[in-house]
Amino acid sequence: MIDAKTILNRCDALANQSSTRTGIERVYLSPEHAAVNLQAGHWMQEAGMTTWMDAAGNQRGRLEGATPGLPTLLLGSHLDTVPNAGRFDGILGVMLAIAVVDRLRESDATLPFAIDVLAFGDEEGTRFGTALLGSRAVAGTWDDQWWTLADKSGTTLREAFVEFGLDPAKVGDAAYRSDDVVGYLEAHIEQGPYLEEADLPLAVVSSIAGARRFALTMTGEAGHAGGVPFHRRHDALAGASEVVLAVEQLAREAGAIATVGRLQAFPGGVNVIPGRVEFSLDLRAETDDVRDAVWAQIQDVAAEICTRRGLAFADEQTHGAPAVVAAPHLRDVIRAGITATTGEPDPMVLFSKAGHDAMAVADLTDWAMLFIRNGRGGISHHPDETVTEADVAVALDAFEAAVRAYAATYAA
């Protein structure tokens, strides 16, 4: 039987499949991708699954239910990484899913649905700049405009498909029909500090925040740093700085998350008053309503700053995605799995600030997620990403209990 130690050993083994010698980097349709598919497929077979690689390069394994051909519960996560990655983001979820199937088969559970384990080939978007390609293919939301996306060496997505042995014309075959699936469950490290701060191993995910990103510009008047007195200045950077602090305060008060990650002053001379500042904003919250209300407040504050300082503020949205909300009945299933394992009657609920495959699968079917504590303040997308064997053990028990809880309610 697969235990937590085995799962951690498997995460270590997959971490060796990297295109870089220092740190882990494993991108979509690369030789390393092929290698981890092969390895994961082998473990799926050991767990009693029939296996195949789908038309988008995702590795899949299937365990039939009580009778062959029943509608299917999907369990999955991703095997690709960001540059200089940790070894658990995505990978742990796939290893847990395989272990759950192994346990169900060993116990001769008769399930009212089949289970497909999905090891997605692209979640991070590291190679082609567009994320969730694997899960979007599965969800049937593949966009043919992506074929001309190119990686940094100029190879297009279409060429990469062919090099990987896939037929671009057949990518639609990777999609399920929504009538054939009964839901999607994903286990994933939290990638944040909340579980660690609460001293808890597991949480139920309520939603995945949809980010809005903006290119912001504050325009004032450039002038001589010595010659222009304060009362005549229209300093774009001083005004933008007020906006930056307001962004932090307003988001904090609303329970949202906001970041100004880039800021540049023009003309950028040490003895020139900044006449223009270009800066970015990334804004996320549990619901779109909360997020959009914070954005409206930010705009109000920016307008007030402009009036007071004689500046002009402009904004352009560069990215927008809606929050996706977990299905209540599958949230209950995850909650039941945690309660059955930890005895905690009211498990912690978190919304995800990071994107996940579930966002794409949400277009196909109902979904829910289990979050697992990762230590060191929840550091992720970093080689220091870590989980404990004890937490993996309770996560495995809870994920299995969740699938069994769903089987019980689905059959009823």
- Return residues touching Zn ion (CB under 5 A): 89-90
Q: How far is the CB of 283 from Zn ion (least distance, A)?
A: 21
Whole-angstrom distance, CA of residue 345 vs CA of residue 57: 40
Q: How far is the CB of 294 from Zn ion (least distance, A)?
A: 25
Whole-angstrom distance, CA of residue 402 vs CA of residue 337: 4
| Pick 192 or 274: Cβ nearer Zn ion | 192
**Tokens of residue 202, six digits:** 């597991």
| Pick 90 or 378: Cβ nearer Zn ion | 90
Which element (helix H / strand E) includes 223? strand 223-224
| Pick 47 or 92: Cβ nearer Zn ion | 92
Q: How far is the CB of 37 from Zn ion (least distance, A)?
A: 17
Contacting residues for 144 by C-beta, under 8 A, at least 6 apart: none
| Pick 90 or 210: Cβ nearer Zn ion | 90
| Pick 25 or 242: Cβ nearer Zn ion | 25
Which element (helix H / strand E) includes 341? helix 328-342
Task: Give burial (CB, 10 Å; 0-12/13-18/19+) of 267.
Answer: exposed
Whole-angstrom distance, CA of residue 169 vs CA of residue 78: 23
| Pick 219 or 374: Cβ nearer Zn ion | 374
Cβ atoms 391, 199 nearer than 8 A: no
| Pick 90 or 134: Cβ nearer Zn ion | 90
Q: How far is the CB of 87 from Zn ion (least distance, A)?
A: 12
Q: How far is the CB of 142 from Zn ion (least distance, A)?
A: 20
Buried b (16+ CB within 10 A) or exposed e, 170-205: ebeebbbeeeebbbbbbbbbbbbebbbeeebbbbbb
Task: Give burial (CB, 10 Å; 0-12/13-18/19+) of 271.
Answer: exposed
**Please, which residues bridge with residue 259 across strands?**
282
Whole-angstrom distance, CA of residue 106 vs CA of residue 110: 11
Q: How far is the CB of 89 from Zn ion (least distance, A)?
A: 4
| 349: amino acid identity, one letter | V
Closest residue to Zn ion using C-beta atoms: 90
| Pick 94 or 111: Cβ nearer Zn ion | 94
Q: How far is the CB of 207 from Zn ion (least distance, A)?
A: 16
Q: How far is the CB of 7 from Zn ion (least distance, A)?
A: 16
